[in-house]
Amino acid sequence: MKKLLALLLVLVMVWSLAACSSDTASTDTADTGSSDAADTGDSGDSGASADTPDSYKIALYGPMTGNNAQYGETYRAVCELLVEQINGEGGINGVPVELEIFDDKNDPREALNVASLIVSDPDIVAVVGSQTSSPTLAAAPVFAEAGIPMLTPQGSHADITTTGENIFSLCCLATFEGGVVADMMLEDGYKNLAVIYANDDYGVNIVEQWTNDVEAAGATVVAAETYVSGQTTDFTPLLSKIKAAGADAIYIEPSYSDAAMILAQMKQLDCGFQPYGCSMLYTQAFLDIAMENAEGLRLCNFINPDSTDPTYLAISEAYEAATGNLTDVYVTNVYDCFMLACDALEAVGSDSAAMTEWIAGVQEWPGACGPITFDETRHPVRQLYRFEVQDGQFVYTGE
C-alpha cells in the first residue's frame, strides 16, 4: 500500500490519458458489449513455480454505456490507473494484475448476463461492481453462489450484502443517507416536504427511510412523485403536482442526468422550493450539465474536503491529473473496492474463502475516505458531510 501511494504521487507529474489508452486492450462479448483487459506487460516472473498464476484477473462491471455511463467511466479510469501502478511495482507478490471490464448498462437483466459470464471464467478471482442497487441486486446472488468475493462501490440497498458472506458494499446503507437528508431539511426549518425519486430498488429504499424520519419529526410529506429513470424526460407534470401541494423544499433523489433535467424544469415552472439532492449528484458531470440551475442545491457526500489522509490525497491528485475531473465518492469507493481485493490477494492468495475472510476481518484498513472496518452487514461505518452548490462549485457547509 505505501509503495503504491508513493507511485501514485509520482504519477501526478507524468500521467496522461494517452498513456492510459495505449495500455488497454479490448475484446467483445456476446451479451455484455465490451470487456477491456489492462495490459499487464512483462511480469518478469520467468522463474515462478508451476502453481503461480500468469495473472490475477479482477472483473469490473458497471454502466459503461447508457444514462449512468459517467459513473462507469470513472470506475474504469481509477481501476486502470491502479492496475498500471501495481504492475509497474512488480504486481502482487510478483504476479501481474489483469482487469476485465463488463458493461451492464445499468440494467438488471444485463447485469445478470454479465455475472454469469464472469463466473464462467475460472481465472477471475474477485469482482468490483455495480454502480446502482438494481443491477447489483440482480448479479450478487450469482457471485454469492460461486463464492467469488464481490465488492460494490455504490450499491447501498440493504438486501445486497445479505445474499452471501462474500458480498461487500463500500457504501453506507441507503437508509442511512435518507435519514441524514431528512435531518438536513428539518434542521433548515422546512416542514412541507416533497420528494421525486426513481422507481428502482435504490430509490424506493432510500425514500422509505426519508419518509419515516420526516413524519416522525412532525413534518409533512405533501407529495411523493416517482418516475422511470432513463425513460422520463418531461418532469413538469410531477413538478406541477408538487408545486400545487404547497411544498417548500424538495428532495431530488435520482442520478445526475435526471436531476439536471428536473432542476431546469423547476426553474421553468418557477417552483420556488429549496432543492436537496442525494450523494450521487456530487460529481463534476452533474455540475457541467446542470450549470446555473444547480445553484443553491444542498446535498451530502462521504468525502471530507479538508482531509489530509495520505491515501485520499494520493488517489485524488493522481485521478485529477489524469482526467481533469473532480474527485468524488465514485473515485474513492472504487479505489477502496479494488485495493481491498488486491490487498487480500497479497495477504492470502486467490482462494475465494480466504479472501472473503480477510476482507471481512479488516480493521481500520486505510481507505480513501478514511479507515474502514466492516459492520455485521458488511458495510463500512462512515460519516456524511454537507455541501451546497455555490458559483458552480460544491462548497462544504458542515457535518
Asked if omega into 134 is within 30° of 0 (cis), the reply is: no
Q: Is the dihedral of CA 207, 211, 214, 219 positive or negative?
A: positive
Same domain, 152 and 203: no
Burial code of 214-239, b = ≥16 C-beta within 10 A, e = fewer? beeeebebbbbbbbebbebeebeebb
Q: What is the reported pLDDT for 204?
A: 86
Structure confidence by residue, pLDDT tens digits, 137-177: 999 999 999 999 999 999 988 899 999 999 999 988 777 88
344 inside domain: yes
- Name the more confident of 369 and 16: 369
Q: What is the reported pLDDT for 304?
A: 85
Question: What percentage of the chain reaches a pLDDT higher than 90?
Answer: 71
Q: What is the reported pLDDT for 208?
A: 86
> Whole-prediction pTM value?
0.79
Structure confidence by residue, pLDDT tens digits, 205-222: 888 889 999 999 999 999
Q: Which helix (H) or strand (E) holds 224?
A: strand 220-227
DSSP 124-163: EEEEE--SSHHHHHHHHHHHHHHT--EEESS---TTSGGG
13 pLDDT band, cuts 50/70/90, is very low
Same domain, 165 and 210: no
Q: What is the reported pLDDT for 28?
A: 37
Structure confidence by residue, pLDDT tens digits, 98-109: 999 999 999 999
Three cell numbers written together for 157: 440497498
Same domain, 166 and 181: no
DSSP 8-41: HHHHHHH--HHHHHHTEEEEEETTTEEEEEE---
Q: What pairs with residue 59 in β-bridges?
A: 100, 127
For the chain, what is the domain count?
Answer: 2
Q: What is the reported pLDDT for 2?
A: 52
Same domain, 160 and 245: no
Same domain, 122 and 24: yes
Q: Stretch 258-274: mean pLDDT, rounded?
A: 97
Is residue 350 within 8 Å of 361, Cβ to Cβ? no
Burial code of 138-150, b = ≥16 C-beta within 10 A, e = fewer? bbbebbbebbbbb
Nearest to 129 by CA among 231, 142, 348: 142
Least confident of 59-63, 305-309, 326-330, 357-361: 305-309
Structural domain containing residue 246 = 174-301
18 pLDDT band, cuts 50/70/90, is very low
Amino acid at 81: L
- CATH number for the domain spanning 15: value is 3.40.50.2300
Range among 25-29, 122-126, 301-305, 375-379 rated most confident: 122-126
Q: What is the reported pLDDT for 44?
A: 37
